[in-house]
Amino acid sequence: MAGTAGTPGTPRVLRAMNDRAALDLLLEHGPLSRTRIGKLTGLSKPTASQLLARLEAAGLVLATGTSEGRPGPNAQLYAINPAAAHAAGLDVNPYRIRAAVADITGRTVGEYELPTPGRHPSQPVVRQVADALDGAVKAAGLARADLHRVVIGTPGAFDPGTGRLRYASHLPGWHSPTILEELAAALPMPVEYENDVNLVAIAEQRLGAARGHQDFVLLWNQEGLGAALVLGGRLHRGWTGGAGEVGFLPVPGAPLVRQVTKANSGGYQELAGSQALPALARDLGITDVPGGPHAEAAAELVARAADHASGPHRTLLTTYATRLATGLASLVSVLDPELVVLSGAALTAGGEVLRALVQAELEELAASRPHLVVGDVTEHPVLRGALESALAATRDEVFDTSR
């Protein structure tokens, strides 16, 4: 790596760049030897040795053993020190807050779930968040002060102009104009907030089906129908944070919904949201419609339908695919993305069968031809995205050795 001749501080900047390159390689590959790090970074053996000694002294890497079983002398291996920093993520919905703590390598070391039932929470939101976070911290064997950063995912989005939560009237207790200030006062670490579906897109971009893609749409269908838009590798949030609130889209085949924010619904939600599937199943003569929460019922219906080649279950799946493609056609016609990721239980339950049906329908309805894939991150994807977001910022700060 070369710097600008005569620029003050260039050696320190170059060392920091090399340090970060080595740390990123250790995150990607796991334990590496000095020789391997030198080859991957293009550094000489003496320079790689100095780099590793510097990072070890800073508490960022550890010597973890030797490369036994390989030809030649055993080489010392180095790995990221998992205790160098910890970050937390929270996934909030009207029924529970799920929290997790991860070490700097991304390994989850503590989890906790706090039920929050009812339209009128018995405890203030700030207390709920603190209790959920403390539960995960305790499970990790840590204290609050050990956390470097927290990212909280919620339905809707906090308007950057007003600081108030929008597009999520169904989330009790979160609409106070002072909620962000109250949370900042209660928690000792930096706290960031992100829309839940945007966090799923982050998880898929870093760990799942959207790796390597700079322009994609993630369509989410679980408790609600929403989308995340990634353009040029970056999330597009919109002026008020409401980009991707596609459940409010007016679409053919659904009644025109007015005052959508009061109704907390819109045409696309009514047509293709998970709550529409049990009613569609009954209309088609399916009698064994599961009860319980509509997201779980929808996922079970879709999974069953994907196993049928004909009959009312197959009709359910093809009708659902057409409804999904109807709203997607508007999105891809405007954005022309490279990829569409289908995520959320009411979509992933249909697997490749549903994906192929939606792909075929979309090609009939839109001139743009993005490739559709089923999301890979299916275990707590909102929480995983919150952790990935928190870890990215934490690593940028902790791995900066130029300071």
Each residue's pLDDT, cut to its tens digit, for the chain (403 residues) gives 444 444 455 788 889 999 999 999 999 999 999 999 999 999 998 999 999 999 999 999 999 977 655 555 678 999 999 999 999 999 999 999 999 999 999 999 999 999 998 766 667 999 999 999 999 999 999 999 999 999 999 999 999 989 999 998 889 889 999 999 999 999 999 999 999 999 999 999 999 999 999 999 999 999 899 999 999 999 999 999 999 999 999 999 988 889 888 788 899 999 999 999 999 999 999 999 998 888 899 999 999 999 998 999 999 999 999 999 999 999 999 999 999 999 999 999 999 999 999 999 999 999 999 999 999 999 999 999 999 999 999 999 999 988 7
Whether 255 and 360 share a structural domain: yes
Sign (positive or negative) of CA dihedral 117, 120, 123, 126 = positive
The count of structural domains within the chain is: 3
- Domain containing 179 — which CATH number? 3.30.420.40
Whether 248 and 338 share a structural domain: yes
Whether 75 and 93 share a structural domain: no
Whether 327 and 226 share a structural domain: yes
Whether 321 and 391 share a structural domain: no
Give the integer Cα–Cα distance in Å for 385 and 218.
13
Whether 260 and 220 share a structural domain: yes
Two tokens, residue 263: 């109704």
Residue 290 domain boundaries: 211-376
Whether 48 and 129 share a structural domain: no
Whether 299 and 335 share a structural domain: yes
C-alpha 128 chain-centroid distance: 22
Residue 3 within a domain = no
Residue 67 near residue 362, CB atoms below 8 Å: no
Residue 5 within a domain = no
Residue 4 within a domain = no
Place of tokens 């898929």: 204
Residue 187 near residue 138, CB atoms below 8 Å: no
Whether 67 and 112 share a structural domain: no
What is the total residue count of the chain?
403
Residue 75 near residue 137, CB atoms below 8 Å: no
Whether 232 and 343 share a structural domain: yes
Whether 317 and 387 share a structural domain: no
